[in-house]
Amino acid sequence: QWQLVESGGGLVQPGGSLTLSCVGSGFAWGYYNLIWFRQAPGKGREGVASISPSDVTNYAESARGRFTISRDNAKNTVYLQMNSLTPDDTGVYYCAASVSFASFDPNIYNRWGQGTQVTVSS
């Protein structure tokens, strides 16, 4: 029953904002690090932001200052608030979870959500 489901993606103009959500089930949500990744066309999956069970956050340089990761353990949900979006932010956004790590190395994680598409275009 282990599951991660992303939502909230869509088409947005440059400079706009989106907030993504990822809802988990089937595991002890509050004990897990939660990590947002994205995959642009023709590129590998790259880490965007992470948050630990104690709310320690980390951001990729491309996201720092524009994106905010947060979690609501009562709802088993992690959010990614994205502001000042540019076309370089376009891609499929995925969430992953680990009780041990919050690394941006996608090879560490073997359970993923299905992804949600974010397209930044005018």
pLDDT at 13 over 90: yes
Span 10-27, average pLDDT: 97
Q: Over the chain, what is the mean pLDDT? A: 97
Each residue of 20-50: pLDDT tens digit? 999 999 999 999 999 999 999 999 999 999 9
Report the pLDDT value the prediction gives residue 111, as an integer from 0 to 100.
Answer: 87
Report the pLDDT value the prediction gives residue 47, as an integer from 0 to 100.
Answer: 98
CA distances (Å), origin 75, targets 25, 89, 90, 102: 10, 27, 27, 20
